[in-house]
């Protein structure tokens, strides 16, 4: 899951501040190491200062006697004022230089001590900051764990409630379909004993209708899924819909102007179709086909039906369909693609009325054996790409390794997440 933009910006800012702190510490440490005292950089300076202090006084007046002494004293008397000023100037310069040297030494010593103390403090602060961050992270993790634990408990409680509600919904669905079945049958204009028997059959079939409502999908969903078959039967009237259920495909044929008739053994579903004005017979599909005149049908269609038939009944149905279709007539049988592990586990195994899985090759062979030609298999209802295994990015991997991995991913996708349904399409 992608980070929140504000959180990502905060992370970038923290990284910038950590780099700035590290740069500051490195700079101060380097400057402290490159800040020696003047006496350390200029070891000869103390000797120069000492000599300057010794030489700053000018020469003393001559003390010799005699004519030479008198002459020297006379000269000294003439230049004495200038020497006095020079001596005073020398004294002032020496005092200034002595003060500057002393204060400079103290300042350098203080700066070096300050830099050293600052480095030591920053080195102490860094572990403290790290400890604080670890403590904050630990506290955040602990809080998150507490929140997740509370959420898990809440989710578990809601899950139990939801399971109860789902069970109640399924029960209500069964009861609702049972009531509808009984009411619809009793309204039929039939003698009371016949009406009662029909109502009993409809009530018994209502549970499976409720099951289909729950797992197969709504009328609109089924209509949308079956709509692509209508064009195949555009010029094939009349079309027989075997196991027509709630009549979604018969409705689509009627809207397309194609005559259709249905066969359905479920009394509740057949009654629902008749209430919609659809031509549906409450009879087994084999008996229905055998009752058709030979060559009287242009098309035979069955969606999610053949997997409910035992092998002998399936073979009989194929033979009866071949007889009832006119030359060139179209046979379309849709069923669960049991070659897909997902479809086999999640679709086929869910319905207890399924007789046995039908491999596409098996159904194709049986259709050809019954006399049909141009037999082909069309895969339908592909699994959403987000559900399938994802290919491995080739970056950072040897080309042959990436190719081998992705070939294996493709094989696994074909096995685990193949299309959920297939349709057998054949001609008489």
Dump the DSSP string for 144-192. Answer: HHHHHHHHHHHHHHHHHHHHHHHHHHHHHHHHHHHHHHHHHHHHSS--H
Model confidence band, residue 375 (pLDDT cutoffs 50, 70, 90): very high
pLDDT tens digits for 1-38? Answer: 455 777 788 888 888 888 888 888 778 777 766 666 66
Residue 262 has pLDDT above 80, yes or no: yes
Task: Give the residue with greater pLDDT, 400 vs 97.
Answer: 400
pLDDT tens digits for 131-159? Answer: 666 666 666 666 767 777 776 777 776 76
How far is residue 258's CA from residue 205's CA, in Å, rounded to a whole number?
29
Q: What is the CATH class of 218-427?
A: alpha beta
Q: Which two three-digit tokens encode residue 385?
A: 């790409």
Quick one: pLDDT at residue 184?
Answer: 60
Domain boundaries, the chain: 7-149, 218-427
pLDDT tens digits for 59-81? Answer: 666 666 777 777 777 777 777 77
Quick one: pLDDT at residue 86?
Answer: 74
Quick one: pLDDT at residue 26?
Answer: 79
pLDDT tens digits for 346-365? Answer: 888 888 889 889 999 999 99
Helix (H, G, I), strand (E, B) or coil at 333: strand
pLDDT tens digits for 110-126? Answer: 777 777 777 777 777 76
Neighbours of 315 (CB within 10 A): 15
């Amino acid at each position: 899951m992608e980070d929140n933009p504000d959180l990502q910006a905060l992370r970038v800012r923290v990284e910038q501040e950590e780099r700035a702190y590290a740069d500051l510490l490195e700079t101060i440490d380097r400057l402290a190491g490159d800040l020696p005292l003047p006496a350390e950089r200029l070891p000869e300076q103390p000797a120069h200062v000492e000599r300057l202090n010794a030489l700053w006084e000018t020469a003393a007046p001559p003390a010799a006697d005699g004519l030479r002494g008198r002459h020297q004293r006379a000269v000294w008397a003439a230049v004495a004022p200038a020497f006095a000023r020079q001596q005073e100037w020398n004294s002032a310069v020496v005092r200034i230089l002595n003060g500057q040297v002393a204060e400079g030494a103290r300042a350098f010593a203080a700066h070096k001590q300050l830099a050293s103390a600052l480095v030591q403090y920053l080195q102490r602060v860094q572990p403290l900051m790290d400890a604080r961050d670890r403590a904050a992270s630990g506290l955040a993790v602990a809080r998150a764990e507490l929140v997740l634990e509370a959420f898990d408990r809440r989710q578990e409680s809601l899950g139990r409630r939801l399971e109860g509600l789902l069970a109640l919904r399924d029960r209500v669905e069964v009861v609702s379909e049972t009531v509808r079945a009984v009411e619809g049958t009793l309204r039929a204009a039939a003698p009371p004993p016949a009406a009662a028997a029909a109502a009993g059959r409809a009530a018994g079939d209502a549970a499976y209708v409720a099951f289909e409502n729950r797992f197969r999908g709504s009328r609109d969903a089924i209509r949308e899924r079956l709509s692509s078959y209508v064009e195949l039967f555009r010029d094939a009237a009349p079309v027989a819909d075997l196991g027509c259920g709630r009549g979604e495909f018969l409705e689509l044929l009627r809207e397309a102007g194609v005559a259709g008739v249905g066969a359905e053994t479920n009394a509740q579903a057949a009654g629902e179709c008749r209430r919609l004005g659809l031509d549906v017979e409450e009879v087994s599909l084999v008996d229905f086909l055998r009752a058709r005149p030979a060559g009287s049908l242009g098309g035979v269609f069955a969606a999610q039906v053949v997997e409910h038939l035992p092998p002998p009944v399936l073979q009989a149905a194929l033979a009866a369909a071949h007889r009832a279709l006119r030359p060139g007539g179209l046979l379309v049988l849709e069923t669960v693609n049991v070659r897909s592990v997902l479809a086999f586990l999640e679709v086929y195994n869910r319905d207890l009325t399924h007789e046995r899985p039908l491999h596409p090759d098996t159904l194709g062979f049986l259709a050809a054996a019954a006399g049909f030609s141009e037999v082909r298999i069309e895969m339908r209802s592909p699994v959403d790409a987000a559900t399938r295994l994802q290919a491995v990015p080739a970056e950072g991997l040897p080309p042959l390794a990436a190719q081998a991995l992705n070939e294996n991913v493709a094989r696994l996708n074909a096995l685990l997440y193949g299309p959920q349904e297939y349709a057998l399409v054949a001609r008489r």
